[in-house]
Every structure is written in structure tokens, then in C-alpha cells.
Amino acid sequence: MEIPESAQKLEVMHLTKVDAGVQLSCQMDDEDVVYGLGEQMRGMNKRGFTYVSDALDDAVHTEDRHSLYGSHNFLILSRKTQPSFGVFVDDPGRVAFDVGETKLNQMVITAGPDCTVYFIEGESLKDIAKQFRRLIGRSYIAPKWAFGYQQSRWGYVNESDVREVVRRHQEQGILLDAVYLDIDYMDNYKDFTVDADKFPDFPGFVNEMKDQGVHLVPIIDAGVKIEEGYPIYEEGVAGGYFCKDEDGEDFVGAVWPGKVHFPDVLNSKARQWFGGKYRWLMEQGIDGFWNDMNEPAIFYSEKNMQKVMDELLALKGKNIDLHGFFHMRDILLGLSNNPEDYKSFYHDMDGVKIRHDKVHNIYGYNMTKAAAEAFDEIAPDKRTLLFSRSSYIGMHRYGGIWTGDNSSWWSHLLLSVQQMPALNMCGILYVGSDIGGFGSDTTEDLLLRWLQFGVFTPLMRNHATLGTRQQEVYQFENVEDFRNMIRIRYGLLPYIYSEYMKAALDDELYFRPLSFDYPEDDHAAKVEDQVMVGESIMAAPVYTQNATGRYVYLPEDMLLVRMKSMENKTCEPMEKGHHYVDVALNELVFFVKKDHALPLAVLDEKIKSTANMEDVSYEWICHGDGPVEYVLYDDDGISKKYVPQKDWKKVIVDK
């Protein structure tokens, strides 16, 4: 591997060969800011920590975590005294980014010997990001209904549970577009099956929900249950479609159903086979999926379990002291997602045998690619909702992501704000976090504040795990406040959809750090809790418990918009600078840039979901001294016949 000539010319990147492969290093000035790396912990500015691309199933998202589910090896070094640049390290194995942790002003990237490095110069941070977006290809575009409000929970077991969720949303006048089916809908956790006792007429039930404007979105996991008589298992074994161990036998791991094999989705024939299995659900009316457990997550491997059992039996009857106890605990905890397991099975990459750990980070990517390629054959002219837990740069062409098993913590609301721009830089536009938090018990105020940011995320899904507090919005005392926030989301859909589509079709960012829009403003680069949303909006969510407002920095004069409902809204011009802004718990606050406008859909009582929004009229929020132009994008929301840029509708708005 060689450093690009442009990087050598600027003398910013230095190459060193090490045992693990290669290291790229550069010095950082005190005021330099590092953006990117997609789905990771900590702030927008990544300085001061080491981030490791090593896709990991880990539900404890605390500050000491170096890896999450995705691997997004792109960053931008924003500099004051030298030209800014972007770096993409294309390596499907483990890559470490020491961004000033070991040495405060030194960045060191460690990758494998066969990596490819792309060095990107540009006129601005936006330009660097746009060049990278053009390099990696157009971002996935979801159907319009997937921009509506969506409800999920691990624990909706049967038709009655789903009907109850839909009924209670409708009774409370809460708009809803989708309900998710977690692993309980399957027959004993087997992919591409439906439990006939829980869903005796699944196609009829799917259509029943669609008649009410609600799409059902089932989960698909990576592991295929080992069970005689299960067609997916038997076909996979017969076709040689599963990953192999070092002896050439089908590798045995374990996930929800117990022992499983993993489809070798890096093999084109296996990928085509596995992707084709989505057809069965699509033929029953399903038009959306979420792929999960595809790092791949491994609860234990058969071989490692035997080793651990032998070690535990050896301890029987012994006086287990301090060191013995911790050893026993560690070997049990080490059963799940053990690095040695990832070194023990192999892929057949169309004739090339390669050990899994060398390509670990692209497994989830290829599982999602398998589905997307199948959709192109099954429903070639129709958009299908598809997003994944694990991902790598490039998967953004096939689907979106959600940010995994977060918790009902205020810090994770802030983390969601900070992750959105970093993911957009890596091409992942259709994204959101589990609103209210997946793990732990949420609170009414946390869920409402989270919704106020979720109003702006393309994927707006409330999701929680089994055993936690019920967090459907109708479960709370002040249900009117939740109803109003979700209704505001639908009011903002013309803007959100326009800005998403323009970003996707023109390789732009939907979410951006402030410094991307205000590069000459030194303070903008220091703001970690505000984001630009599309061309007109700056979002500044409240993310601390019991707060009745927050400090906000305005890089220019802006219009403060307050909305308690679609009918109850006010606008107030504010001058550039630092402000404390009161924000009531039941109030959405955001800011509109000078000489910009945004459309709001006029919602009448007939609207229950996006299915009723075909012919809405608009009202406008505008900030400027005279007429303002806004480009309004719209299409049928379901076909792949996108409107060419020359035909995007330009609207002149006069306040």
C-alpha cells in the first residue's frame, strides 16, 4: 500500500509498516477537528479517543466502548492552518483510529496490509464530503411511508398484540405508519417462517393492517437454525451455502434458536440463495424488513462451549479464590462474540477461501446486499424498506441502519444527535436511533424530548426491549403532548422528504455539523449538540433531565420557531450569538436560517398516516427580508422513478 501523491505533497500522512499491517499517522494542531467515523461513541469531534472498526454486538454503549455494530472508516480532518482533507481506509478487517488518545496531537490509523486508502482534498468540508459521497455511490432511498412514525417492541407476540397497538394509536388520534415484528413472530426463531398459531392467516393480517395505513415490518436474523425438516437449513446444507470451519464442515454457532449455521453471504451464489428467501414474505404483502444480529452475533460456538464446560468441570469441588472466581466469570462472559470464534470459520468468496475475521466488518453489509439484490428481481420498480444493524461503507447503497441497542439514558439522546452527521458523511442517510431507548426503563420526559429530536430523523421508530417499561406513547399520562409531536412530524414531512431526496440524489448531507455551513465561524466547530437539518433548519434539542430550556449558539441571525402543535406555533427573529432559550417539555423548538423557508403540510382530521397525504396543501415558514426561493421535491413515494434535478419544483415564498 502506498500513500497517495497528494498526501505526500502536503506532508500530512506518514506510512509505517507494523506487524499488524500498516500505520498512517499525522500531526494535529490544537484547533483541528476530526469528523466522521459513522456509528461510534462520544462527540462529533472525535479527538481524544481510539475508535476501532470491528463490528460488535454489544448493548452496553458507554464511553469506554471502542466498537459498535458498524464499521465506517471515513473521517475528515478539519484544519485552520493547513488544507483540510478526508481519509477513507477500505479494509474489511479490524482498523483502529487513535485520534489523539495515545498522543494528544497525533492521529494514528492502523490497518491490515492489503487495505486501500483514499485521500480526498476539497475546497470545503462540504466539498470533501460530497466528493466521497460521489465516490461510494448513491444512498439508499426508502419508500415515503417509511418516513412516517413507526412503533416497535420486542414482545409483540401475535395478531392480538399488534391489533391492540394499532387500535390504541387510532383511538388516541396518534398517526402511525408501521408496526414491527421482532423475533416472536417466527416459528421457533427460524428465518422466513411465521408461527401459524400466533398468525393463523398472515397474508390476510398483513392486508388488514395495510387497509388501516399500517405496514408490518418483520425482523430477519443472520443465523439459520439447525433443524432437520426445516427447508432453509436443508437447502443451505445441500447447496454448500453456509460458512465452513477449518475442517470444511458447516460452522456451528448459536443465537436465538440455539445452534445455527451462518449463510456465506460473501459468496455470490449463497447470497443469491439467501436473498431469494425474502420472496416468501413479500408474496404475503410484506414491503419492509430489518436485518439484525448480522455482525454476526454469536452467543457461543459449539467448540468454544465445550472448552468452557471442560474448564468449569475442572473447578468442581475446588476452593475457588479471588483469581479463580474472576477467571470463571471471564470465561463465561467470553462465550459471546469471542474473537477466537471469528478466527475459526471461513468464507468461499467465489473461489477464494478467506478467514472470517479478515472480512468480519462486511458480513452485515453483504446480508443486506443479498436482500436488496433480491428485491431488484422480485419488485424491480418498487422501493422496499430495508435497514440493518451491522454495516460497512458501501452498504448505504442497499439500505439504512438504526444505531442498535441503545438505552433509555439522556446521554444516549445526545449520542443520537452526534451520530447523525457522522453517519451521513459515510453515505448512510436513512437512519435513526431507538426513540426512548431500547434498554432500561424510559421516562415520560425522556421519551418526549427524544421524540422532539426524532421528528427530524428519517427513521422515526419507538423501540424497546422485552422486560422494560411499556413505552408506546399512549402509555403515558400526557398523551396529547406525544400526539402533537408526532403530528408535527407529519406536518414537516414535505420538508423532511424534500431534503432527504435532494441529499440522496445530489450526494449531499441531510444532517451536518454547524461548521460545514459556517466554516469561517470558529465557534461553530465547538458546538457538539446542535445540527443542521436540510438546507433551512438548525435543530437544538433539549437532552438533559428536568431542563426547561438550553443554551443555543446562533452562527447568524435566525428565526426561532416554537411548536406545541401544528396549530399552536410562534416565530421570533433572534440575533447571531449566544442565547438561553426556554423550551417547555411539550414544545418543539428549532431555528430557520436567514433567507430560507420550509413547507408545512396542512393536516386535516382524515389523515391517519402517510397514505392519506397525497393531496395536502402547504403553509410556509419563511425567514428573510423579501421573497425566498425553496426547492420542493415530491414524487409518488414508492416507485424508483425519481424526479430529475432539472424538474425539481422551485417555489417563491414571500413572508
405 included as an active-site residue: yes
To 5 degrees, how large is the angle CA 172–CA 176–CA 178? 140
DSSP string, 260-322: EE-B-TTSHHHHHHHHHTHHHHHTTT--EEEEESTTT--SEEHHHHHHHHHHHHHHTTS---H
Residue in 347, 343, 372 with CA at minimum distance from that of residue 357: 343
Q: Between helices 410-425 and 444-454, what is the axis angle to 10°? A: 20
- The active-site residue out of 287, 295, 507, 517 is 295
- The active-site residue out of 405, 481, 517, 587 is 405
Residue in 106, 99, 1 with CA at minimum distance from that of residue 48: 99
Question: What's the rounded Cα separation, in Å, for the pair 2 and 15?
Answer: 8
295 included as an active-site residue: yes
Letter string b/e over residues 5-34, b meaning 16 or more CB atoms within 10 A of that residue's CB: eebeeeebbeeeeeeebbbbbbebeeebbb
Q: CA dihedral in degrees (476, 603, 498, 69; nearest 10)?
A: 20
191 included as an active-site residue: no
- In single-letter form, the type of residue at position 451 comes to L
Q: Tell me whether the omega of the peptide bond preceding residue 296 falls within 30 degrees of 0, making it cis.
A: yes
Cell of 144: 415515503
Question: What's the rounded Cα separation, in Å, for the pair 233 and 191?
Answer: 10
Biggest distance spanned by C-alpha atoms of the chain:
85
Residue in 567, 565, 626 with CA at minimum distance from that of residue 595: 626
Residue 259, number of CB atoms within 10 A of its CB? 17
Kindly tell me the burial class for residue 575, based on how many C-beta atoms sit within 10 Å of its own C-beta (0-12, 13-18, 19 or more). Answer: exposed
- The active-site residue out of 287, 292, 341, 517 is 292
Question: What's the rounded Cα separation, in Å, for the pair 198 and 182?
Answer: 13
Element spanning 34, H or E:
strand 33-36
Element spanning 410, H or E:
helix 410-425
Catalytic residue set? 292, 295, 405
